[in-house]
Amino acid sequence: MRKKTVKLGLNYILVGMVLVILATFFHEEVAWLFLLSAGGEVQFTFLGLFIGGMSGGFGVIISAVGLLQGPSLESKVYLKPTLLILVATLLLFFVLFYSSFTKPQPSRVRPGETITI
């Protein structure tokens, strides 16, 4: 196993997960930050999901190649910090996913109702 290659793959997976989290749960905030229109927000969401998926898939391939390669004379490479950050990001995703179902939806205006501003 080549730890440096595995760590590179794990970093790609981590970047993919962060992009998916941003595109899924924080697309409105990112659109506000970069002054995007509604169409730009939708495009950011699709692009973030696509690039995040590609980055994660690429990271899986790189990690698998690193696991299958023979050992080499490497300096000390630590995988534990990267794995802990990856697990924390995965837990963050599931917490945000769960909270998206449990938070109450804002009430919609029905036809015939008036809005007082």
Question: How many domains, in total, are found in the chain?
Answer: 1
* Structural domain includes residue 89: yes
Cβ atoms 52, 17 nearer than 8 A: yes
Residue 107 inside a domain? The answer is: no
Asked whether residue 91 is domain-assigned, the answer is yes
The pLDDT value recorded for residue 31 is 92
The rounded distance, in Å, linking the Cα atoms of 14 and 108 is 37
pLDDT by residue (tens digit) across 5-54? 999 999 999 999 999 999 999 999 999 999 999 999 999 999 999 999 99
Q: Which domain holds residue 50?
A: 3-102
Q: 12: burial class by Cβ within 10 Å (0-12, 13-18, 19+)?
A: buried
Provide the whole-model pTM: 0.84
Asked if residues 66 and 2 have their Cβ atoms less than 8 Å apart, the reply is yes
Residue 14: count of CB within 10 angstroms of its CB: 20
pLDDT of residue 74: 72
The verdict on residue 62 lying in a domain is yes
pLDDT tens, residue by residue, 65-106: 999 988 877 778 899 999 999 999 999 999 999 998 888 777
Q: Is 109:115 a contact under the CB 8 Å cutoff? A: yes
